[in-house]
Amino acid sequence: MTRALEGRVALVTGASRGIGAASAEWLAARGAHVVAVARTTGGLEELDDRIQAAGGAATLAPMDVTDDDAIAYLCRSIHDRWGRADIWVHSAFHVTALTPAPHVTAKDLDAVIATNIRATARLIAMVDPLIQPSDDPHAVHFHDAWPDKFAGAYGMAKAAQRALFDAWAHEGEKVGPKVHVLEPRPMPTAIRARFYPGEDTSRLTRPADEAARLLGGIFGT
């Protein structure tokens, strides 16, 4: 395995599990210093153990992406330490209870908007000036499909996320950063289990394999 990302700094939001954790491990294994963000401290610590065991390095940042002040402080801290980040991988999502569209509660609606829409927009605003100083800045967003029924609130939020990243990608075609909207194959994640309880997960693709396929297509294997 080459360390093609040696010296690079990679910010991964939603890094404690699933494709976010797998992406953090993949980037660290190739030499990037990973700044791992998630609400779950235990998940981050387990991630750090795996990264260190594989010879990589990470900085853990347990925080909620909806906390503007915390994210702003983190971005400033990354800038003060390294002068920039080179890669941002965004995998922080919130899934509400599955329910018919007319039954979506105000509480659930506020939660998906706060994490999946508002926080994403604020992150783009704060991360863009952090990665622009890189000589090769990249932003990666994972977009997934959702069931036609009972997942309207999640689907609404994911569509909004994609619209934000698609617009950013077109806006940066000449000046950067390079923005990638990637669609993983179905994986045995906690989010998918909410949509498809009791599914035979042996037919699904491991997050580690999807991280390698998708990120390898950008940064090389």
The set of catalytic residues is 154
Find the largest Cα–Cα distance for the chain. Answer: 52
Q: What is the rounded distance in angstroms from the CA atom of residue 165 to the CA atom of residue 57? A: 28
Three-class HEC string of the chain = CCCCCCCCEEEEECCCCHHHHHHHHHHHHCCCEEEEEECCHHHHHHHHHHHHHCCCEEEEEECCCCCHHHHHHHHHHHHHHHCCCCEEEECCCCCCCCECHHHCCHHHHHHHHHHHHHHHHHHHHHHHHHHCCCCCCEEEEECCCCCCCCEHHHHHHHHHHHHHHHHHHHHCCCCCCEEEEECCCCCCCHHHHHHCCCCCHHHCCCHHHHHHHHHHHHHCC
